[in-house]
Structure 1
Amino acid sequence: MIYVSKEVAVNTDPAHPKLSRSEIWKGLVMKADNALPFVPGMAKCDVLERSANGLVRDIVFRGEDARERITFYPETKVVFLRLSGNADGFIVNEILGEGDALSLRFSFALQLVDAPSDSEKEREFREVMERDYLKAVDATLGAIRKMATTNPTV
């Protein structure tokens, strides 16, 4: 099992617009609906079904197909549960803190379906996922900041 977590302060750089919890939340919901502008390496993101508190989508990430069930915990977190693909597990995007002290934490716990834990294949997968997923934290914040700047009602 691979576990990685990264937390980024949201409102510490005066060059960036201050984001509210609501703006971050709206960005995370948009990311769940269409991750392409938010996640480098994502080539496909198709929503298959919607419910009151989430959705199911098919994605292609780094050339691998996967299906995810996404559950929304309004203004708090989004949980992505892998239903199929080359890895089992979950991903969590959380909004932490209050006011100007907001932060965004991305965590994942994944295990390759066809490789033993701590195998060379899993270690290589961890390196790629950690690098790409941690880039997604910065890309997500960048996309939310851009939306907040160009469309203040986001």
Structure 2
Amino acid sequence: MEFEHLVEVNDLDDPAVPDLTRDEVWFGLLCRAEDPRPFLPGLDRCEILTRSETAVTRRLSFGKVQIHDAVRWQAMDWICFESAATADHPGGRLTITIEQPEPEGAALFLRFAYRTTLSETVGEDAKYADYVRSAYHQSDVDTVRVVRMIAESTRTE
């Protein structure tokens, strides 16, 4: 299954909600790589196994289910989470790209692009494709909410 969509970060029509900067959004996405627990309900533990300047590998523990994944990024541009399929997990890839239509503008979007091993047209998986897309969308809206909370908690006024 392949699925992608945009989530608006800043609501330019609501001045009561502070705008986030690209730096703040990027920092929040890096937080998701380092400690994804606030972003992934049910995640008990995240252990970083390897680290470089542009990647980490992790072991994620959801109770007894263990998922190994790799996270790669290009600073201030995109971050990609990729896991292999196992008996307990279908595997897949999520790439989150920061989009800013005007280089100095306040309009910011996150593009979430999914590629999974689930089929949209064949077998049991096909019955759940719409549900999975809806769950991904809600999770992505929640990601922006958590990024916003992180930014607001680290701002110095």
TM value normalised by structure 2: 0.81
Q: Which runs of 5+ in 1 are unaligned?
A: none
Give the Cα–Cα distance (whole angstroms) in 1 for the partners of residues 82 and 27 of structure 2: 20
Identity of aligned residues (%): 26
Q: Which runs of 5+ in 2 are unaligned?
A: none
Q: Please tell me whether the aligned partners of residues 8 and 104 of structure 1 are also in contact (alpha carbons under 8 angstroms).
A: yes
Q: Which residue of 2 aligns with 1:132?
A: 135
> What pairs up with 1:4-153 in 2 under 5 angstroms?
4-12=3-11, 13-60=14-61, 64-85=65-86, 86-97=89-100, 98=103, 99-112=105-118, 118-152=121-155
Give the Cα–Cα distance (whole angstroms) in 2 for the partners of residues 151 and 61 of structure 1: 28
Q: What whole-Å deviation, never above 9, does each CA across 1:21-40 have from its counterpart, x for those lacking one? A: 11000000000111110233
Q: What whole-Å deviation, never above 9, does each CA across 1:98-126 have from its counterpart, x for those lacking one? A: 421110111110004xxx77333222453
What displacement does 1:56 show?
0.5
Q: What whole-Å deviation, never above 9, does each CA across 1:104-152 have from its counterpart, x for those lacking one? A: 111110004xxx7733322245344323321221111111211222221
Q: Please tell me whether the aligned partners of residues 77 and 92 of structure 1 are also in contact (alpha carbons under 8 angstroms).
A: yes
Higher percent of residues as strand = 1
Secondary structure at the aligned position of 1:101 is classed as coil
Give the Cα–Cα distance (whole angstroms) in 2 for the partners of residues 50 and 30 of structure 1: 14
RMSD of the alignment, in Å? 2.4
Distance 1:18 1:135, change over 3 A: same
Give the Cα–Cα distance (whole angstroms) in 1 for the partners of residues 60 and 129 of structure 2: 19
Q: Please tell me whether the aligned partners of residues 40 and 132 of structure 1 are also in contact (alpha carbons under 8 angstroms).
A: no
Q: Which entry has the higher C-alpha Rg, 1 or 2?
A: 2
Q: What whole-Å deviation, never above 9, does each CA across 1:53-98 have from its counterpart, x for those lacking one? A: 1100122469853211110110000011213433243110110014
Distance 1:26 1:142, change over 3 A: same
Q: Please tell me whether the aligned partners of residues 11 and 18 of structure 1 are also in contact (alpha carbons under 8 angstroms).
A: yes
What displacement does 1:15 show?
3.3
**Residue identity matched to 2:99:** L
What is the total number of aligned residue pairs between the two structures? 149
